[in-house]
Amino acid sequence: MPAKIIDGKAFAATVRAQVAEHVTKLKEGHGITPGLAVVLVGEDPASQVYVRSKGKQTVEVGMKSVEHKLDAETSEADLLAVIDQLNNDPEIHGILVQLPLPKHLDEDLVINSIAPEKDVDGFHISNVGLLGTGQKSMVPCTPLGCLMMLRDHHGSLSGMDAVVIGRSNIVGKPMAQLLLGDSCTVTIAHSRTKDLPDVVRRADIVVAAVGRPEMVPGDWIKPGATVIDVGINRLDAPERGEGKTRLVGDVDYESCAAVAGAITPVPGGVGPMTIACLLANTVTACCRANDLPEPEGLTA
């Protein structure tokens, strides 16, 4: 029996609808409009597309959207001044600095200059520490989206064996912390893990976030396991015409789908959930800033 496809696009639409409903409640009941500020430095085409999409979806759910577009040559002092201004703006509840930054800027310094309570990307060292110790934090958007989809599919994750392939600070490590928080038994694997196929084969849940196209074949997957593919890799596709490409994940979709119980596709799986969770994090940050109950189902 083929795997159930976990439709991230449809699930993200549901999350956005929940966000919009809560935004309406905040406006009508408390006179508060959640505000999200995005800072873009330079002219990276992929970043520009992503920022436009964020701005569009922020407005669609009824939130305030602010964009600061800075030249690629912007100094560190000028960038930090913009962030300081946003930190002190009571109408801004979430701040996101689009990565990557130009090479002359210190990403860690910039990220850690954002007020932790407004760090809706969840990258600030304070939020990393809070998540790692099981305390209330801002949670990175992509792992949060993965967790939401897993909870929706399985209900309780308690006692399940999970393997996260990839140890990045953005996905792998926070994903493992979130799964631990839901009482999974968690292994973080990576390219240097000994007997990696055997490690993956024992998992009820596989989260592939290693950044290598189609690295995980179907014979690594335990029959009936749930596969969450975080990878977004662009490969040449000459069969589609000269210069054409196709998007693939970190798992070989066809062979894994033949074995798994459920799987996310690429595209249309984890990707759409990232911006949806960014919006959810902004609403959560707004509620916390105003000592209001957090929206149910929109955070870890």
Residues 176/186, Cβ–Cβ less than 8 Å = yes
Residues ≥6 apart with Cβ < 8 Å to 51: 38, 40, 67, 69, 98
| Token pair belonging to 274 | 């990232």
| Token pair belonging to 101 | 């930054």
| Token pair belonging to 73 | 């040559």
3-state helix/strand/coil string of 264-284 = CCCCCCCHHHHHHHHHHHHHH
Phi, psi at residue 229, to the nearest 5°?
-100, 105
CA 119 to chain centre: 13
Instruction: Select which of 57, 118, 119, 121 is catalytic.
Output: 121
Instruction: Select which of 18, 57, 98, 177 is catalytic.
Output: 98
CA 220 to chain centre: 25
Q: Where are the alpha helices (DSSP H) in 31-135?
A: 45-60, 76-87, 107-111, 125-132
Indicate if 98 belongs to the active site: yes
Instruction: Select which of 54, 118, 173, 222 is catalytic.
Output: 54
CA 118 to chain centre: 16
Indicate if 54 belongs to the active site: yes
Residues taking part in catalysis: 54, 98, 121
